[in-house]
Amino acid sequence: MPKKPMKLDTSIHAEANRQMTICNACRYCEGLCAVFPAMTRRRTFSDGDLEYLANLCHSCGACYYACQYVPPHEFAVNVPQIFAQLRSESYYRSAWPRTFAPLFQRNGLIIALAATVAIALFIGGFVAMHDPDALFAVHTGPGAFYRLMPHETMVALFGGVFLFAVVAIVISVRTFWRTSGGGTIGLSDLLIAGQATATLRYLDGQRGGCMNEDEQPTDRRRFYHHCTFYGFLLCFASTSLATVLHNLLGWHAPYAWYNPVVLLGVLGGSGLLIGPAGLLRAKQRRDPQVVSSDTRGMEVAFLAMLLLTSASGLLLLVLRATPAMGILLALHLGIVFALFLTFPYGKFVHGFYRYAALIRFARESKLPVAGTAD
């Protein structure tokens, strides 16, 4: 597949600017989501403004189906599509370190490669550390996992890659914040934005939004997104709790099924099965008019990785007392490692950019509207 040149594509900004100028003279969509009220607070749009608006968009599709100017109309307005392109531009523009920015464009491929290599390394590492037989032996009881990989090594590896991801994302989002307009942040802005993020307020089928395959509104994408998001958080909580138990209480994994670590993990893992699977299916059935084919690879790869993470994790739980444990552990750790490593250069970042955009939206909501609509 031919790829776009890996530089800032200003034509996307120009096109988004053209469309927002039409929308700002129209404003029919102002009740649909945050994008349109945010738009009405300005008369002209800088590149940064456009990226801010693009990241406020949840790609719910409502404005596409509501718009009297979509193609074949000569004004050819298609906000969700141009914003999808612009979002990936904004991720690209803000990526840290700069040299890794092009990874966004090949994210699907990179993730696949990273996962394969990481899994291979884990298997190889296990074998190198012990004899190959240990990989296929049955290990049970507390500390079973660490017989394949010492706890310190695991902490160093995962702590390291996690820290890298956090730093890279923080720097990227900060760059985005500054280049797109920035400003000081109040606590109430954080809270309002947090609430909107947590509830996916603007991906809201109740109020007529969230279309998928046609003009019929459904709330499915929001449901699956909630499964994914909260599934992820639960898994994260499970891991954090395990770290605490291990370090403070000296309780070593694997834990009994009734241990909160396992319960949180199972619950989160289930969410991470249902959510990404549902989103993948919705994506497959989505009206191709409202999405950007340029970003599809990145989105599919991220969902697939989440799905693999939870599937391998749950499988590990079920089969941890069998000889398959060694291989499954290597598989699971490899996938998680690759997932963490590629976090800053794929779809994962959208949540942070959106949260940042929502903070700015909360802050700007006190500003006056430009012109008065009729």
Partner 1 sequence: MTDSDIFNQPYDILIAGGGNAALCAAITAARAGASVLVVEAAPKAMRGGNSRHTRNMRVAHDAGNDILTGPYPVDEYWDDLLRVTGGQTDEQLARLTLDRSKELWDWHQQQGVRFQPSLSGTLSLGRTNAFFLGGGKALLNALYLTAAALGVQVIYEAKVTDLNITEGVFHSAQVQKEGEVFPITAASFVAAAGGFEANIEWLSEYWGEAAQNFLIRGTPYNRGEVLRLLLNKQVQAIGDPKQCHAVAIDGRAPKFDGGIVTRLDCVPFGIVVNKHAERFYDEGEDFWPKRYAIWGRLVAMQPEQVAYAIIDARSVDLFMPSVYPPEQANTIEELAKKFTLDPQRLRTTVEAFNAACRPGTFDHTVHDECHTEGATPPKSHWARPIITPPFYGYPLRPGITFTYLGVKIDAEARIIMHDNKPSPNMFAAGEIMAGNVLGKGYLAGIGMTIGSIFGRIAGQGAAQAKHRPE
Residues between 124 and 183 that touch ligand SF4 (CB under 6 A)? none
Report, in Å, the least distance between residue 303 CB and ligand SF4. Answer: 19
Site string for ligand SF4, 10-49 (x = CB under 6 A): ------------xx--xxxx--xx-xx-------------
Q: Which stretch binds partner 1 (CB under 8 A): 29-37, 78-86, 222-230, 264-272?
A: 29-37
CA distance 239 to 220: 28
Contacts with 48 (C-beta within 8 Å, 6 or more apart), sequence order: 179, 180, 181
Nearest alpha carbon to residue 180 among 88, 46, 20: 46
Q: Is the dihedral of CA 23, 25, 31, 33 positive or negative?
A: positive
CA distance 307 to 295: 19
Q: Which stretch binds partner 1 (CB under 8 A): 73-81, 167-175, 280-288, 339-347?
A: 73-81
Site string for partner 1, 204-243 (x = CB under 8 A): ---xx------xx---------------------------
| CB-nearer residue toward ligand SF4: 224 or 343 | 224
| 368 DSSP 8-state letter | P
CA distance 232 to 134: 31
Q: What are the beta bridge partners of residue 211?
A: 217
List the single partner that 305 binds among partner 1, ligand SF4, none, CB under 5 to 8 Å by kind: none
Q: What are the beta bridge partners of residue 217?
A: 211
List the single partner that 35 binds among partner 1, ligand SF4, none, CB under 5 to 8 Å by kind: ligand SF4
Residue 76 near ligand SF4 by CB under 6 A: no
Residue 364 near partner 1 by CB under 8 A: no
| 177 DSSP 8-state letter | H
CA distance 89 to 8: 7
Report, in Å, the least distance between residue 362 CB and partner 1. Answer: 16
Read off the amino acid at residue 115: A
Binding site for partner 1 (CB under 8 A): 21-22, 24-32, 37, 40, 43, 62-63, 65-75, 207-208, 215-216, 369-374
